[in-house]
Amino acid sequence: MDFRFFTLGNLWSIVSSMGTPKQNTAILNLIDAKWDDLVEHMPLKIGYPALEYEELRIITGSDPKNTPWSYHNGGSWPTLLWQFTLACIKLGRLELAEKAVALAEKRLSADRWPEYYDTRSGKFIGKQSRLFQTWTIAGFLTSRLLLENPEKAALLFWEEDYDLLEMCVCAVSKSGRKKCSRDAAKSRILV
């Protein structure tokens, strides 16, 4: 079983309300607790940990672009910053987003807005990274604007839809003895 952390999927789980409130909070708590592994010098690792050795050969065919801690194999992608900021705002964790934006702000412009960073720590511009990437610039600027106007974040994320959840839980429920209600749906959120 693969237990790697895939940042994009986890952030969109929060933004789109696919996870439960408890799961969404746990995702941001994990990023906070593993900051040195998932962020360190540049937000944010696309996946963690990187595939290495035999696992790399089997899964990627030893793709030279995806060496360990590079590109899609554990590289740091600044474009993920706006999605991280959005998730942080949704869950009331602005301090995490501010910390990541401040870190990115120190380097992105000086490094000429690279597509991604290499190494376990995200310290070096990716070996095949393109510079002046629109999505890097847009991700950073969007993060800054969202932090300046957190109320605008509600335009970009979804709140939990308990009516839809109730329909899904009730449709999947095998037991006709339990009354299907909004409270039952909230207590048995399917993920």
CA torsion sign for 154, 20, 91, 134 is negative
HEC string of 9-30 equals HHHHHHHCCCCCHHHHHHHHHH
Report the distance separating Cα 114 and Cα 190, nearest Å: 39
Q: What's the sign of the alpha-carbon dihedral 43, 46, 49, 50?
A: negative
Question: Is the pTM higher than 0.75?
Answer: yes
Here the tokens at position 56 are: 């790399």
66 and 92 in a single domain? The answer is yes
**What's the confidence (pLDDT) of residue 168?**
66
Residues in the chain where the model's pLDDT stays below 50: 177, 190-191
Q: Check residue 117 and give its pLDDT.
A: 96
111 and 29, same structural domain? yes
* Same domain assignment for residues 125 and 69: yes
Q: Evaluate whether 120 touches 74 at the Cβ level (below 8 Å).
A: yes
pLDDT confidence of residue 191: 44
Are 127 and 175 contained in the same domain? no
pLDDT at 143: 98
What distances in angstroms separate CA 110 from CA 59, 105, 106, one per listed residue? 35, 9, 8
Same structural domain for residues 52 and 108?
yes
Residue 16 and residue 42 in one domain: yes
- At residue 120, the pLDDT reads 86
Domain carrying residue 168: 161-190
Q: What's the domain count of the chain?
A: 2
Encoded amino acid at 79, one letter? T
Residues 105 and 174 in one domain: no
Q: Are 51 and 66 in contact (CB under 8 A)?
A: yes
**Residues 79/135, Cβ–Cβ less than 8 Å:** yes
* 3-state per-residue secondary structure call for 132-190: CCHHHHHHHHHHHHHHHCHHHHHHCCCCCCHHHHHHHHHHHCCCCCCCCCHHHHHHCCC
Q: Say whether both 91 and 183 belong to one domain.
A: no
Position 101 scores a pLDDT of: 98
